[in-house]
Amino acid sequence: MLEFILNVWPVIVAVAVVLVVIVLGYVKAPPDQAYIISGLKKEGKVLIGRAGIRVPFLERMDRLYLGQMTVDIKTEQSVPTSDFINVNVDAVAKVRISPQAEGIKLAAKNFLNKRPEEITRDLQDSLQGNMREIIGTLSLKEINTDRDSFSDQVMQKASKDMDKLGIEILSCNIQNVTDENGLIKDLGADNTSLIKKNAAIAKAQADRDIAIAQAEAERESNEARVHADTQIAQKQTELDIRRAELKIMADGKKAEADAAYEIQSQEQRKSIETATVNAEIAKTQRQAELKQVEVEVEKQKLEAEIRAKADADRYRQEQEAEAALFKRQKDAEAARYEQEQKAQAEMKIAEAQKYAKEQEAEGIAAVGKAEAEAIRAKALAEAQGIDKKAEAMRKYGEAAVIEMVMQALPEIAKYVAEPLSKVDKITMYGEGNSAKLLEDIITGTSQVTEGITQSMGIDVKALVAGMLGGKLAGGEGRTVLIQSPPPGERDGGSPAQPEEDTPPE
C-alpha cells in the first residue's frame, strides 16, 4: 500500500499543480481589449476575444484598449492661413489602435494598461500640430468652401505620425472655423447681396411666369368649364329622354302585370272553388262508404257471433253424444271383462277342487288339500280384485280411463323426447327453432294417443273433450263455446281456438 502511495504521489502532485495553474491562470479577453501575456517566451502572446492560460508567478498579463476613441482637436491660439488671416478651427477625429499585430506591438510600447481618456490626451497634441501645419498651407476661402479636402489633408498628414504609434485614424470632421476680424462674415455679406439680387430677379421672373400661367390656366379652365357644361346639358337631356322612355315601358309592363295578376287571381279563385266543391263531394262519398263499411262490419260481427255459438253448441252436443256412446261401450266391455274373469276364477276353483280330489285320491291329501286351498284362495283373491276393478271402472267410467291416460302421457312424452337427448348437435333449416322442436315432440305424443285409439278403440281426445264439455256446461254462470273445426281439419288440421263469451244479462 505504501509503495502504491509513493508511486501515485507524484502524479497527484502534478495534477494538483496543473489544476492550480488552470484555476489561477485562466483568462478570457473581451473583443475590445487585447490581453498581452509575456514572461516565458521572447514574443508575448496576444489574446483578443478568446481565452488563454497565464502561468502564475512566471508570466504577467497587460491590457491594451482596442475600442474606438474620440479626440477633440482645437487650435488653442489663432493660426495664420496662407493669405495671413488668423483663424481658429475646431475638429473631431475618431481613432483606434490598429488590430494588426505590428500595430498592437507599437501601441503596447506607448499605451499599455492606459485608459481611453489617457490615450486620447496623448494623441491630442500630435493631431493639433498636424492640423496647424495644414491650416498654414490653405487660404481662408479654401478652408471654408472645401472642408472635406481640408479634413482629408489633416488625416493624410496625421496618419504618418499615428502609424508610428500604432494608431489608425478612422475619420476627421471640421466642426467650426472662425477668424479674429470677421472677414468670414464680410465674405458672407457679399455673397449674401449677390444671392439676394439673383433671388429678386428670379422671383420677378417667377411672378411673371406665374401670372402668364394663371391667365392661360383660367382660359383653359373656362373653355373646359363651358365644354363640360355643354356635355352635362346634353347628357342630362339624353337622361331625361331615356327616363321618359323607361317610364312609358314601365307603365306598360305594370299594366300588363296588373291585368295578368287579375286574370291569375280569378283563375286561382276558380280553382279553389272547384277544389272545395270536389273536396265536399269526396267527403260525402267517403262518409257514405264509411257507413256501408261499418254496417258490413257489424253484420259480419253478428254473423260470426251467431255462427260461433251454433258451432259451439253443435260441437258440445257431438262431444256429449260421443262421451255417452263411449261410456256405454266401456260399461259393456267392463261387464264382459268381469264375466270373463269370473269364468276364469270359477275354472281355476274347479281345477283346484279337481286337483285336491286327485291328491286326496293319491294319498297325499294333506299336502294336496293345502295346495288346493292356496290355489283356491289365490283364485278367489284374483276374482275379488277383478270384481273390484270392474266395479271401480263401472263407477268411475271415463274418469278412470282419462286418469290412466293422463298419468301415462308424461311417460309417453319422455320416451318420445329421449332419442333427442342423445344427439350432440341439431342443425335445422327453414323454420328450425325451439318451437318447431317442441311441436315435433307434441306431434309424436299425439301419434301415440291416436295409436291407442286405433288399437284399443279408446278415443282419448273424445273422452277429454266430453269430460271438459260436461264440466263447463255445468259451470257457474259462464258459457264456454268451443268452435267445431271444419271437416277437413278434424284429424290433421289445427284445433279451433276456444272463444269465451260473456254470460247473458
Place of cell 348437435: 425
| In the chain, domain spans | 2-64, 68-181, 398-474
> Measured in whole angstroms, how far is the alpha carbon of residue 206 from the centre of its chain?
79
Measured distance CA(369)–CA(234) in Å, rounded: 167
SS3 track for 354-376:
HHHHHHHHHCCHHHHHHHHHHHH
Contact call for residues 93 and 73 (beta carbons, < 8 A): yes
The kind and range of the H/E element at 232 are helix 183-362
- Which grid cell sits at 239? 337622361
Place of cell 501515485: 8
pTM of the prediction?
0.35
SS3 track for 459-471:
CHHHHHHHHHHHH
Contact call for residues 147 and 172 (beta carbons, < 8 A): no
Pairing of strands 33-38, 51-53: unpaired
Q: Answer left, alpha or beta for residue 10, where phi above 0 means left and psi between -120 and 50 means alpha.
A: alpha
Contact call for residues 487 and 499 (beta carbons, < 8 A): no
Which pLDDT score, from 0 to 100, does residue 65 have?
92
Measured distance CA(353)–CA(344) in Å, rounded: 14
**C-beta contacts of 324-328 below 8 A and 24+ residues apart:** 326/398, 326/458, 326/459, 326/462, 326/463, 326/466, 327/397, 327/398
pLDDT by residue for the chain (505 residues), tens only, comes to 666 666 777 777 777 777 776 777 788 889 889 888 888 777 778 888 888 888 887 888 889 999 999 999 888 788 888 888 888 888 999 999 988 888 888 898 889 889 999 999 989 888 988 888 888 888 888 888 788 888 888 888 888 889 888 999 998 888 888 887 777 776 655 666 676 677 778 888 888 888 888 888 888 888 888 888 888 988 888 888 988 888 888 888 888 888 888 888 888 888 888 888 888 888 888 888 888 888 888 888 888 888 888 888 888 888 888 888 888 888 888 888 888 888 887 888 878 777 777 766 666 545 556 665 766 677 667 667 656 665 665 555 556 556 666 666 666 666 656 665 655 555 555 455 555 555 666 666 666 666 656 655 556 666 666 655 555 444 443 433 333 344 444 444 444 343 333 333 3
Which CATH number applies to 68-181? 3.30.479.30
Q: In angstroms, what is the C-alpha Rg of the chain?
A: 75
Measured distance CA(167)–CA(145) in Å, rounded: 29
Which pLDDT score, from 0 to 100, does residue 325 have?
83
DSSP alpha helix (H) spans, 26-80: none
Which pLDDT score, from 0 to 100, does residue 468 have?
56
Which pLDDT score, from 0 to 100, does residue 496 have?
38
Measured distance CA(70)–CA(176) in Å, rounded: 17
